[in-house]
Amino acid sequence: MRSVRLSAYVALLAVVCCVAAGVAAQSRQPNKIRVLLIAGDDVAPYHDWREISEKTREVLVSSPRFDVKVCEEPLIMESSTALQRYDVILLTMFNKNMPTITDQAKENLLEFVRNGKGFYVQHLASASFSEWGEFGKLCGRKWVMGTSGHGPRSVFKVNVVNREHPITLGMEDFKIFDELYSKLQGDSPIEVLVSAYSDWSKKTEPLVFAKPYGKGRCVHNALGHDHKAILNANMQRIIRRAVEWAATGKVTN
């Protein structure tokens, strides 16, 4: 009987130790970066907004660093309480058919970033809310209908012009099949990380750039026309690093 009790005690102790070890391991795991991806509209059929948002999400969740929630209603930004759950807002939506957001949503977005969190805008999303001047400053540069443009989608060389920034640290120039956005508008200071020469504008155009906004950080990635562009290996690297940097101010890998 004593032997049976001893065996049961040892087994119970082993279970307790395993549970404790599991809890300790969990406590050592870094908190995931909480991403709010806002999608839901674009210039169909030229941009498949659902494909763009889903592939961008796939790129992020392929890394254990991110917890991504997708919302197809930009008016989620009317709730500052809802936004506080997240570390970074990722916008892939251009509100072609949706109405613009309310003044309260605009102020909540600005305060979210000003207070130390992140904002990442991708491709034509910078054309959103055309009546809102401060949104252009948040993006650094923005697409303006009738002024901005691009030549035919093609393979072009992308130049990594800043290899010291955490987003592009150690990256080399690469090629991508995409739209080369040109004549983005704005004059606020930006830190250009990636650029390319446009045959359409006859100028070197900034394609990925970063800037501070209050205590927070913004990244504008003008690449990403479709799943082919988004799933380019270097584009995936930029997306993951840029979203992490916008959220935290650093990049872990």
CB 50 within 8 A of CB 104: no
The separation between the first and the last C-alpha atoms of the chain, rounded to the nearest angstrom, is 56
pLDDT at 25 over 60: no
**Of the options 1.20.120.550, 1.10.3470.10, 3.30.460.10, 3.40.50.880, the CATH number for the domain spanning 33-248:** 3.40.50.880
* pLDDT category of residue 22 using cuts at 50, 70 and 90: very low
Supply angle C-alpha 247, 84, 75, rounded to 5: 100
Q: Average pLDDT in the 183-200 region?
A: 97
Looking at residue 182, the DSSP 8-state letter turns out to be: B
**Sequence-ordered list of residues with C-beta below 8 angstroms from that of 86, at least 6 positions apart, any chain:** 34, 35, 36, 69, 117
Least confident of 29-33, 84-88, 169-173, 179-183: 29-33
Q: Are 128 and 203 in contact (CB under 8 A)?
A: no
pTM higher than 0.85 for the full model? yes
**pLDDT category, 67, cuts 50, 70, 90?**
very high
The residue ranking higher by pLDDT, 164 or 27, is: 164
Name which of 171, 141, 194, 148 is nearest 251 in CA terms. 171
Asked if pLDDT for residue 26 goes beyond 60, the answer is no
Residue 33 has pLDDT above 70, yes or no: yes
What CA–CA distance (Å, rounded) separates 106 from 212? 18
pLDDT at 221: 98
Provide the pLDDT for residue 30. 65
Amino acid symbol at 208:
V
Q: Above 90 in pLDDT, residue 45? A: no
Assess contact for 227 and 147: CB atoms under 8 A. Answer: no
Residue 7, pLDDT > 60, answer no
> If pLDDT is split at 50, 70 and 90, which confidence band does 40 have?
confident
pLDDT of 42: 78
Residue with structure tokens 């040109």?
A: 182
* Average pLDDT along the chain: 89
Pairing of strands 154-160, 118-122: unpaired
Quick one: pLDDT band at residue 18, thresholds 50, 70, 90?
very low
Res. 34: pLDDT tops 70: yes
Q: Which of 221, 182, 220 is nearest to 203 (CA)?
A: 182
pLDDT at residue 27 tops 60: no
Residue 97 has pLDDT above 60, yes or no: yes
**pLDDT at 14 > cutoff 50:** no
Mean pLDDT of 148-173: 97
Cα-flanking dihedrals φ and ψ of residue 145, to 5°? -60, 135
Q: Which pLDDT belongs to residue 13?
A: 39
What is the model's pLDDT at position 99?
87
